[in-house]
């Protein structure tokens, strides 16, 4: 198979182009408003009536005619939020006490704030020198939206702001796209599932043969109380990926760990059938037992790229299986896996959940310390961003490389260091990848 290693921007371009061709999910379901949070609107939300539905007072005060501001006014009544003024239309020299959110009585064209008035024996005076324009402290009926206007488009991810709009239109349920099913396969002979049970010191080894992981217990019990082998590693990637997939509105299906054998990988590929996206982790580097690309190739996969000039994450592969299902072969190092998810998987997955805004989320921050540059690849270093009123700063966290999950968790973003730049000075603005 021909290698195709792309620079970061090219690789992202390939993913975004593929994402642009992804069809929105065919299935739509109706869910309760709050269950729609984190999902994606499958139909536009339209205003069910004018918004506001009446000329709305935006202040507590007095409804009046703006031209009457300088005169002594007779207070003829009161209208509270939720009430409609049923008396005669307001005439010259009259005022009606009004509360925020109440409909403006007929005849009035403005509201003066209660703070700007004085009332003595039923006579209202507006503060001397204060003038009032027609429409002041009033939002006219339909000024925010006319009945039938599109308030939220199809493809919008639903958060609190969208919930507020839907609720303001009386919608107790929303139509959302079905979650795409994402198969997650971690690969590696060294991996142990969290609940997997091992017996300490099992299995005699034949002479000269390397110890199998379970043969030499480390003496550290796993959470389940069993022993984990000295050379064994808990499978953390499947869980990290499942969390990331869920966060993007997909349905994560964690399959059993694949061993570094052709047979085991084939089995998992077969089990992943029927899913909308396949994520593999590990087994895409140059090692003798990195067989993922080989097995994908023999299954008829098409590769869009087989590496990206990024660090961490260089060995990432992206392509499509014979049946059209997209796959990513993510590097096994846990930080690489997560960075590659944010950079490449998330955009594709966002398109698959039906979202229209899909690009990785970049922002900018000022460096708290100098950072060495000069790499031949674009680097995404775990970093801690601090947001303050006078600006946003970022500091790269100390780490032991792309296997260092704890360093990754000490950060809250990734500092982006583009390839070739000699160095980055304290105070300089750099790009950050948000997560």
* Chain contacts with ligand AMP (rule: CB under 6 A): 186, 188, 190-191, 233, 235-238, 281-283, 285, 287, 290, 331-334, 403
In the list ligand AMP, Mg ion, none, the entry touching 186 (Cβ below 5 to 8 angstroms by class) is: ligand AMP
Calpha distance 265→237 (Å, rounded): 16
CB of 298 to ligand AMP, least distance (A): 19
CB of 257 to ligand AMP, least distance (A): 7
- The one segment of 214-222, 327-335, 343-351, 354-362 that binds Mg ion by CB under 5 A: 327-335
- Listing DSSP states for 95-126 in one string gives EEEE-TTPBPPTT--EEEEGGGEEEETTEEEE
In the list Mg ion, ligand AMP, none, the entry touching 383 (Cβ below 5 to 8 angstroms by class) is: none
CB of 241 to ligand AMP, least distance (A): 9
- The one segment of 96-104, 209-217, 277-285, 334-342 that binds Mg ion by CB under 5 A: 277-285
Distances in Å between the alpha carbon of 131 and those of 71, 189, 434? Answer: 11, 80, 49
Calpha distance 242→86 (Å, rounded): 59
CA nearest 31: which of 155, 148, 163? 163
> Are the C-beta atoms of 186 and 247 separated by less than 8 Å?
no
- The one segment of 12-20, 278-286, 334-342, 371-379 that binds Mg ion by CB under 5 A: 278-286
In the list Mg ion, ligand AMP, none, the entry touching 306 (Cβ below 5 to 8 angstroms by class) is: none
Q: Which helix (H) or strand (E) holds 348?
A: helix 346-352
CB of 404 to Mg ion, least distance (A): 17
Residues recorded for the chain:
435
Distances in Å between the alpha carbon of 133 and those of 69, 104, 201, 356, 405? Answer: 9, 15, 87, 42, 61
Q: Pairing between strand 378-388 and 307-311?
A: parallel
Nearer to Mg ion, 105 or 312 (CB): 312
CB of 47 to ligand AMP, least distance (A): 48
- The one segment of 187-195, 201-209, 250-258, 356-364 that binds Mg ion by CB under 5 A: 187-195
188 binds Mg ion (CB under 5 A): yes
In the list ligand AMP, Mg ion, none, the entry touching 331 (Cβ below 5 to 8 angstroms by class) is: ligand AMP
In the list ligand AMP, Mg ion, none, the entry touching 235 (Cβ below 5 to 8 angstroms by class) is: ligand AMP
* Interacting residue with Mg ion among 213, 229, 249, 282 (CB under 5 A): 282
Instruction: Report the helix count and the strand count for the chain, using DSSP H and E.
Output: 8, 31
Which tokens sit at 39? 């999902």
Calpha distance 246→18 (Å, rounded): 21
CA nearest 320: which of 336, 339, 343, 297? 297
Nearer to ligand AMP, 222 or 238 (CB): 238
CB of 8 to ligand AMP, least distance (A): 19
What is the contact surface with Mg ion in residues (CB under 5 A)? Answer: 188, 282-283, 332
């Amino acid at each position: 198979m021909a290698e195709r290693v792309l620079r970061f921007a090219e690789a992202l371009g390939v993913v975004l182009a593929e994402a642009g061709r992804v069809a929105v999910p065919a299935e739509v379901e109706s869910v309760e408003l709050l269950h729609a949070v984190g999902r994606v609107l499958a139909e536009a939300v339209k205003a069910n009536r004018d918004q506001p539905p009446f000329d709305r007072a935006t202040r507590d005060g007095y409804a009046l005619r703006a031209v009457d501001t300088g005169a002594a006014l007779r207070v003829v009544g009161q209208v509270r939020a939720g009430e409609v003024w049923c008396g005669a239309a307001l005439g010259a020299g009259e005022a009606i006490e009004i509360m925020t959110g109440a409909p403006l009585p007929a005849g009035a064209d403005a509201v003066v704030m209660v703070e700007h008035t004085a009332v003595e024996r039923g006579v209202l005076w507006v503060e001397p020198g204060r003038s009032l324009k027609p429409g002041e402290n009033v939002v006219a009926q339909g000024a925010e939206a006319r009945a039938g206007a599109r308030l939220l488009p199809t493809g919008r991810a639903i958060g609190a702001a969208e919930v507020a709009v839907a609720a303001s239109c009386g919608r107790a349920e929303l139509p959302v796209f079905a979650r795409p099913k994402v198969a997650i396969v971690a690969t590696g002979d060294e991996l142990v599932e969290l609940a997997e049970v091992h017996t300490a010191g099992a299995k005699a080894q034949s002479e000269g043969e390397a110890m199998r992981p379970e043969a030499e217990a480390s003496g550290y019990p796993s959470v389940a109380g069993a022993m984990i082998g000295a050379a064994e590693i808990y499978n953390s990637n499947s869980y990290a990926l499942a969390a990331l997939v869920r966060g993007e509105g997909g349905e994560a299906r964690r399959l059993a760990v694949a061993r570094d054998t052709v047979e085991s990988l084939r089995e998992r590929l077969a089990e992943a059938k029927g899913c909308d996206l396949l994520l593999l982790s590990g087994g895409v580097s140059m090692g003798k037992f990195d067989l993922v690309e080989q097995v994908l190739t023999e299954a008829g996969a098409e590769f869009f790229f087989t590496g990206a000039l990024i660090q961490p994450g260089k060995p990432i592969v992206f392509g499509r299986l014979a049946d059209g299902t997209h796959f990513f072969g993510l590097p096994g190092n846990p930080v690489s896996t997560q960075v590659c998810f944010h950079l490449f998987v998330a955009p594709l997955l966002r398109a698959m959940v039906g979202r229209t805004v899909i690009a990785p989320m970049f922002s900018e921050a000022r460096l708290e310390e100098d950072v060495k540059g000069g790499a031949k690849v674009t680097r995404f270093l775990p970093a801690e961003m601090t947001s303050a009123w006078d600006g946003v700063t970022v500091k790269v966290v100390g780490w032991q490389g792309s296997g260092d999950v704890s360093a990754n968790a000490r950060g809250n973003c990734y500092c982006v260091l583009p390839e070739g730049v000699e160095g980055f000075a304290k105070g300089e603005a750099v790009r950050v990848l948000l997560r």
